Amino acid sequence: MADYHRDTRALQRLTPPGVWVQLQRVDPLAEGSVSEFTLWFRPLPVRWTAVHSRVDRARGFTDAQRAGPLKFWRHTYSFTAEGTALTRVAEHIEYEHDSGLRSRGLFARPMLTSLFAYRRRATRRALER
C-alpha cells in the first residue's frame, strides 16, 4: 500500500474527473517531503503545498497543508494489514475553513465526501490490477 502512495503520480491518479491537478513539485513520499501543486476547478486555480510527516511504510503517513486554501488541513492515512494480501486503509481529515468563499465553497463537506469516495474507488481499482 505504501508503494502506491510513494509513487509521485499518486496525486494525479487520485484526483477525480472535473478537477485537473498540475504538479509543480512532488518529492517521493518520505519524512519532510513536500508536494506543491495546483488544483484546477474548471478555470479556478487553487495552489496547495503539503508536507508529509509520520511516514511509516507499514502504518501510514500524514500530509499537512503548509500553504493553501484552508486555514488548517491535516490528512492522515493509516494502514492495517489484514492477512498477507489485504490492507485496510483508513483516512482521517482535520480541517478548518478560512473566512473566504473559495475555502467554504470548494472544500465543503459534500465535496470532500465525494472526493474521498472517488479516491477509495481509484485506489482499489489500481491495486486490484
pLDDT in tens, 45-95: 999 999 999 999 889 999 999 999 999 999 999 999 888 878 888 999 999
Residue from 119, 6, 1, 117 nearest 59 by CA: 1
Question: pTM of this prediction?
Answer: 0.86
Residue from 23, 25, 29 nearest 3 by CA: 29
Type and span of the H or E element at 60? strand 60-67
Phi, psi of 102 (to 5 degrees): -60, -50
pLDDT bracket for residue 1 (50, 70, 90): low
Distances (CA, A) of 124 to 51, 109, 119: 25, 23, 8
Query: Domains of the chain (ranges plus CATH)?
Result: 2-128 (3.30.530.20)
pLDDT for position 10: 84
Please, are residues 66 and 48 in contact by the beta-carbon 8 Å criterion?
A: no
